[in-house]
């Protein structure tokens, strides 16, 4: 079972629903101003051979910007060797995909995505690191990710203003 240890206080980011003109006034987040990390957000995502955590991307720049869509991901093994990675976009075992929509990030604010993998032992990939490209560009953060996962396959939701988790 997954549980939420505590509710997030305040919004981490603001969704820009139908205010398209406001989104256009704010520029797209540039890869160099975003830092990707892994964060449990106070929840446990482990059930029926599924494991998960959240991707968190933080605006480290000086200006408000907009992000949308899905992060780019790549697994690395020992010595940062590339591992064949398949990323499935959409709902995960633990979260419904919020769909792609613009999220406005003020400096220091974050957006979230749910990251899930399975551990049944089928063609196990032994990852040591995960590359996170918040905008899908070549610019990325590399984080420690010592996980065994099936077939090098990851499931990922779109960016969301709060950690996307089904209650």
Mind listing the pLDDT tens digit for each residue in 3-28? 333 333 333 444 444 444 444 458 99
The token duo for 103 is 């999220």
Q: How far is CA 110 from CA 15, 27, 34, in A?
A: 12, 16, 9
The CATH number linked to 133 is 2.60.40
**What is the total count of domains within the chain?**
1
Q: Which domain holds residue 132?
A: 14-156
Residue 35 in any domain: the answer is: yes
SS3 3: coil
Residue 162 in any domain: the answer is: no
| pLDDT given at position 20 | 45
Q: Is the dihedral of CA 83, 94, 144, 39 positive or negative?
A: positive
| pLDDT given at position 25 | 58
In whole angstroms, give the CA distance from residue 83 to residue 146. 13
Residue 6 in any domain: the answer is: no
Residue 9 in any domain: the answer is: no
| pLDDT given at position 1 | 38
Residue 115 in any domain: the answer is: yes
Distance of CA 103 to the CA centre of its chain: 13
By the 10 Å C-beta count (0-12 exposed, 13-18 middle, 19+ buried), 7 is classed as: exposed
| pLDDT given at position 92 | 97
The token duo for 117 is 């993998």
Residue 41 in any domain: the answer is: yes
The ranges of the chain with pLDDT < 50 are 1-24
CA terminus-to-terminus distance, the chain: 11
Residue 1 in any domain: the answer is: no
Residue 161 in any domain: the answer is: no
């Amino acid at each position: 079972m997954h549980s939420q240890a505590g509710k997030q206080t305040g919004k981490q980011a603001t969704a820009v629903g139908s205010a398209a003109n406001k989104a256009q006034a704010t520029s797209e987040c540039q890869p160099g101003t975003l830092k990707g990390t892994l964060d449990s957000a106070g929840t446990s995502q482990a059930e029926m051979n599924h494991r998960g955590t959240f991707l968190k991307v933080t605006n480290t720049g000086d200006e408000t910007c907009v992000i949308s869509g899905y992060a780019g991901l790549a697994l690395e093994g020992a010595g940062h060797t590339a591992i064949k990675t398949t990323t499935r976009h959409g709902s995960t075992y633990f979260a419904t995909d919020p769909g792609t929509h613009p999220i406005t990030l003020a400096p220091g604010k974050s957006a979230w995505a749910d990251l899930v993998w399975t551990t049944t032992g089928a063609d196990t990939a032994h990852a040591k690191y995960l590359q996170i490209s918040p905008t899908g560009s070549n610019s990325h953060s590399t984080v420690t990710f010592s996980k065994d996962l099936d077939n090098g396959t990851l499931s990922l939701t779109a960016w969301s203003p709060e950690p996307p988790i089904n209650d």
